[in-house]
């Protein structure tokens, strides 16, 4: 039995994993989908006070409260920032087994979520934060979703706390490198804001890379392929 901790990306919540969780449970594993403060069913807590540290604490609290050991920690998109922070701050090395970056941000020390974005993207998102106090949801069509999936995600997305966008993450990369790291590259269509990360993991040693021919929200558009990849690391 393996413990899995699944951390969603921006604008989403634990709901986005509903097509993956049953397969993990059926295979005999424990799996916990975390909803970060201020989004999903915790959208009522949206506040300018929410920071990247808040979200790192959210995930760390689940690992501590559930007394997890040798867990596979999965972060989607923005949550690559979060799981990197969690991994860097865990005092006990036996808490984790594997870090999985699902089409996710792979930060260097001192970088923020915004660091890998184009000048145009940064300007647009900062304007949204200035006007609304948060990042308004993006069109799920950018993630290759259409039809019923597009409608489902549109209904469930909530604003993303603005305080996490430019927050730098300071960490010791050697602490994060204690565990094996994998990157799941969603290639069809490939999301432009993840382009730098795709290059980064292919230029740094030690990365295991898996490609899935689907859009950015693989847990929705290709749940079985994603489940197969996760089970290989159980």
The residues annotated with a catalytic role in the active site are 77
The Cα–Cα gap between 92 and 132 comes to 39
List CB contacts of 227: < 8 A, sequence separation 6 or more: 20, 23, 24
Residue for token pair 């898996």: 210
Under a CB-based contact definition with an 8 Å cutoff, are residues 133 and 112 in contact? no
Sheet containing strand 181-186, edge to edge, reads 30-34, 3-7, 71-76, 96-102, 181-186, 207-212
The Cα–Cα gap between 202 and 92 comes to 29
From 211, 199, 202, 205, select the one nearest 173 (Cα to Cα).
Answer: 205
């Amino acid at each position: 039995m393996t413990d899995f901790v699944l951390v969603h990306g921006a604008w989403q919540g634990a709901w986005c994993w509903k097509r993956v969780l049953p397969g993990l449970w059926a295979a005999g594993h424990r799996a916990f989908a975390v909803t970060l403060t201020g989004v999903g069913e915790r959208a009522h807590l949206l506040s300018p006070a929410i920071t990247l540290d808040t979200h790192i604490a959210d995930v760390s609290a689940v690992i501590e409260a559930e007394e997890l050991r040798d867990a596979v920690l999965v972060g989607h998109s923005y949550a690559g920032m979060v799981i990197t922070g969690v991994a860097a701050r865990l005092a006990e090395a036996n808490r984790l087994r594997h870090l999985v970056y699902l089409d996710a941000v792979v930060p260097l020390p001192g970088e923020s979520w915004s660091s890998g974005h184009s000048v145009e993207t940064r300007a647009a998102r900062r304007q949204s934060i200035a006007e609304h106090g948060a990042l308004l949801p993006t069109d799920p069509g950018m993630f290759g979703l259409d039809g019923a999936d597009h409608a489902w995600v549109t209904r469930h997305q909530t604003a993303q706390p603005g305080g996490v966008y430019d927050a730098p993450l300071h960490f010791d990369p050697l602490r994060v490198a204690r565990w094996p790291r994998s990157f799941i590259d969603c290639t069809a269509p490939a999301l432009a804001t993840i382009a730098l990360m795709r290059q980064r993991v292919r230029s740094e040693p030690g990365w295991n890379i898996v490609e899935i021919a689907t859009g950015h929200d693989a847990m929705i558009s290709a749940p079985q392929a994603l489940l197969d990849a996760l089970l290989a690391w159980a």
